[in-house]
């Protein structure tokens, strides 16, 4: 009998997307250094990462499929930045959360 209840079901994540995001991470590693984004989480604000996501999505929305610098799809860059933003919300210090929350939402 196997006891797999509650275990991560990694097989449900599309392999093509994992490969696509790994290419963007590899591009970043070549440009900035391996795992640079991890080390930079203590210095990068949430909004800066959010802005990067939105720029890639807006370029894609305007019909530009690929990032001109990397040659990789804007959607893959946006997904990668989403992963980084999620990691920031887990591991970065609270002062990196610079979202505007409004006067009644602080």
Q: Tell me if residue 4 falls in helix, strand or coil.
A: coil
pLDDT tens digits for range 22-81 = 999 999 999 999 999 999 999 999 999 999 999 999 999 999 999 999 999 999 999 999
- Tokens standing for residue 22: 């790994």
Domains in the chain: boundaries:
13-94
Distance CA 43, CA 63 (A): 32
Q: What is the pTM of this model?
A: 0.91
Position 2 pLDDT exceeds 90: no
pLDDT tens digits for range 64-94 = 999 999 999 999 999 999 999 999 999 999 9
């Amino acid at each position: 009998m196997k006891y797999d209840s509650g275990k991560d079901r990694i097989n449900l994540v599309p392999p093509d997307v994992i490969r696509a995001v790994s290419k963007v991470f590899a591009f970043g590693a070549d440009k900035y250094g391996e795992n640079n984004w991890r080390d930079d989480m203590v210095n990068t604000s949430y909004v800066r990462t959010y802005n990067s996501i939105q720029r890639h999505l807006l370029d894609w929305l305007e019909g530009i499929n690929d990032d001109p610098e990397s040659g990789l799809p804007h959607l893959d860059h946006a997904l990668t930045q989403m992963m980084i933003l999620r990691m920031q919300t887990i591991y970065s210090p609270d002062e990196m959360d610079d979202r505007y929350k409004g006067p009644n939402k602080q």
